[in-house]
Chains A and B, each alone.
Chain A
């Protein structure tokens, strides 16, 4: 075996340029694959985080069944003490309780049906972007003030500004009449028409008063430090809740199934394209090896007529390819890792992203993240396809007639 190995190695370097160029193609593709995949995964992380941090959070504690029926009555009792205890046990401030319902908001003689949320002002800023999107006035203050923040389109439709009053009319949790007058202290602008037209926030304590919640709420939104740790966090929070089964902790996959699926969809189409890249590289290797075999026809003819079996010759060719492939893979991984780490530090941007950033509160620079998957998936696939590619030239050797072969130029 050792001899075959040495032969293979030497064969490769008889034509150093060719070997280098082919390896170069492999290294380049690997570099690309690693970078693009890391970039892609980094972007997904960003997308998820952005969507979730806007309002949903990484997970929510809710009454069992609330997610599907969304009935006012499906409450989490004593929600503020519960949120406090979760905050204490997690030693984290990114935990916020909420209550929500649909109600009528009216000013003077204009009324609109809206979704109204009762939030904990001190903590809501940590789990949602909306407080940060207040463009005039201020966000809500802690306590039980009769204050409200509304979207800018709703403000325009109601013809109200800072300091004006809005009347809220709805149904309490027990079916009774709920009504309140609140002052507009802040107006937010998210860029999303639906949000700016239909959503308003008041303090949770005030919500509980107005809608007769008796200390209850509807959900506790929790944001963890890292997307990868969500599962663990979910288990932790579940263990903090009573066993009764009245409460559940839903993670973002359940709350916003579209996010994960959007990512899978994007992966679907990206992998289709990566695949084509891999095919391209393998083809180039196939091409090289075919050429290399072709030009050694005479030599192979001689060797075979001296007694070497075509099978062994075939193995030689495969081995040559394998060594080249291995080198290409290793070098490619190195190069890819280096480039991606560097860009991961510095960040980069595509034209048009700064506009997106300004308008929709999305980040302007992207930072690719290397993961084991992004580092290995591409190169390994290329290596495998390369080996596959070497089969054809190896197999063709079986049909080599030594005498004819020796005659070729």
Chain B
């Protein structure tokens, strides 16, 4: 599932027209609002295991739902490593070898930078809506804000392994929780927002954590340090040559 996609998408606020109770339109609104939008983010990713913890700081640029570029800032030894994704495809760059390499499909299932996200999770596509059938389950009010719980059932042929996913989105289009269930209805993994705050002019999920239910002591956390929206980002930013020779 395009986890990071939805996380980043839904962390935008969709101020206009998100009051309808139609599930699909709630999701569509966040996406529509996102389409044509661009962002620059600085975030920290923490990978936690029972016996160690690792932290990385990264800068990320996105444009629309298809394109994203991530560059590692810290720690020093990883500085300059980058990942470019366009639609479902991913390229990797390592300054140490000064080469851009396309990740073949056989490696797309591998973990991204050692985290609990896979390469496939990071790569984005514009057909998220097409892959699922959305149903609004409940509407609740929490602290005066409306919260929608939405069922997302993948279509028959969709390239999705899950039996269903449940998204909990606020009226401000902040994703509070994204739960992944297997085809027997058992919860397998979950992405939870731990902190919501206003950044870059919007209410967004500032801290999110992903972990598998069976191993609660192993998780990956993403913390947004700073974010800017609505920038003018040219398409040339999202190219392999830029990946290799940053002009950003």
Contacts and interface: CB of A to CB of B under 8 A. Distances in A.
Do any CB atoms of chain A lie under 8 A from CB atoms of chain B in the complex? yes
Interface of A: 73, 102, 104, 106, 111-113, 167, 169, 171-172, 174-177, 179-181, 212
Contacts of A174: 52, 54, 114
A159 B115 CA distance: 33
Nearest to B114: A175
B35 interface: no
A176 B113 contact: yes
Contact of A111 (B52, B54, B96, B101): B101
Contacts of A175: 47, 54, 111, 113-115
B54 A177 contact: no
A171 B54 CA distance: 14
Interface string B86-106: 000000101011010111101
17 contacts: A102-B110, A112-B104, A171-B110, A171-B111, A171-B113, A171-B114, A172-B114, A174-B114, A175-B47, A175-B115, A176-B54, A176-B75, A176-B78, A176-B114, A177-B94, A179-B96, A180-B96
B39 to A, nearest CB: 24
Contacts of B77: 176, 212
B92 A169 contact: yes
Contacts of B97: 167, 169, 179-181
Interface residues of B, number: 25
A284 B101 CA distance: 75
A171 to B, nearest CB: 5
B102 A111 contact: yes
Contacts of A179: 81, 94, 96-97, 99
A239 B133 CA distance: 61
A212 B75 CA distance: 13
B205 interface: no
Residue from the set B54, B94, B111 with the largest chain A CB neighbour count within 10 Å: B94
A104 B99 CA distance: 13
B72 interface: yes
B40 to A, nearest CB: 22
Given A175-B54, A177-B96, 17 more contacts: A73-B49, A106-B99, A106-B101, A167-B97, A167-B101, A169-B94, A171-B111, A171-B113, A174-B52, A174-B54, A175-B115, A176-B54, A177-B72, A179-B81, A180-B96, A180-B97, A212-B77
